[in-house]
Amino acid sequence: MVGPLSHSAMAFHAYLLLCADGSFYAGHTDDLEARMAQHQHGISGYTAKRRPVRLVWQQDFATRDEALSAELRIKGWSRAKKQALIDGDRDRLKALARNRQGSGVQPGGFDRLSPNGGGDNEVVVTQTPFALSLSKGASATLDMTLSPAALTAMLDAAARAHPREACGLLLGHGNHIALAQECTNVAPDPSHHFEINPVGLIAAHRAARAGGPALIGYFHSHPNGLARPSVTDSAQAAGDGRIWAIVAQGQVSLWRDAPSVFQALSYHVADG
């Protein structure tokens, strides 16, 4: 649920959109009305081909960092957890946080996010089952290059963290992953789950705004599994188009977290 666009004294806003294809888009802005106009006119990349979009949740914040932190938290949540936020279902949010069945690559908790957004317009969202895109008709494509330094960093991080899950950020430009930046795994059970420390996420976004490498995606390890998305990964997936790198048994695989499906990606190791 969401009410009218806010005109409070607070200068920054985190928001959640429902796109025409049923996917969600989370963002932050200092001018919500202007940003909504950009989305509706196809000026924003992800939503340009998913119009019309609908504002289903928003919250005001005093600083940009607070709004960005909220955006990052929501982007890491599953559809179920985003829907609970929209519906104003605090009990469901707490249950999902405890069970970690809808938590995603979470930069922190939800305690400071206000369900409902203060409005009374009912939102109906169709849930789409999540799957792996591994069939012959959806074979891996050579979309990515991975620097030797990034490959080594992920393998080293996995080895150091074992038997816990390592995790971190993938940084670069376009389809090239130049850096793999290890972050603290702050999950309550790091042997079976990962949760990226929000400090690293916020720092990466700040660096990107200052002209540094973009945040392309995330990596984590499977200490006792295979280098492919697990059932838990599928439950955690946000469907935001980011790249996931999974490290297991001395191997690294790349996947695109597309709406409702993990798409396998092939890659070659090369400097950008």
Give the bridge partners for 265, in sequence order: 141, 254
> Which of 169, 180, 165, 157 is CA-nearest to residue 221?
165
Q: What residue ranges of the chain are covered by domains with CATH 3.40.140.10? A: 131-269
Contacts of 55 (CB under 8 A, 6+ apart): 2, 5, 15, 16, 17, 36
- Round the average pLDDT of the chain to a whole number and report it: 79
Using a pLDDT cut of 90, give the percent of the chain over it.
Answer: 29
Do 86 and 55 form a contact (C-beta atoms < 8 A)?
no
Q: What angle do CA 144, 145, 148 make, to 5 degrees?
A: 145
**Tens-digit pLDDT profile for residues 139-191:** 445 478 999 999 999 999 999 999 999 999 999 999 999 999 999 999 888 99
Neighbours of 45 (CB within 10 A): 9
Structure tokens at 76: 């890491």
Cis preceding linkage at 198, omega within 30: no
pLDDT at position 71 is 83
> Domain spanning 131-269 has what CATH number?
3.40.140.10
CB-based contact 256:241 (threshold 8 Å):
yes
- Answer yes or no: is pLDDT of 5 > 70: no
pLDDT at residue 57 greater than cutoff 80: yes
Whether the predicted pLDDT of 196 surpasses 60: yes
For residue 184, the model assigns a pLDDT of 94
Give the Cα separation of 237 and 262 in Å (integer). 9
pLDDT at 252 over 70: yes
Residue 268 burial class via C-beta count within 10 angstroms: exposed 0-12, middle 13-18, buried 19 and up = exposed
How many secondary structure helices (H) and strands (E) does the chain include? Answer: 7, 11
pTM of the shown model:
0.55
First to last CA, the chain: 44
Report d(CA 165, CA 202) in Å as an integer: 21
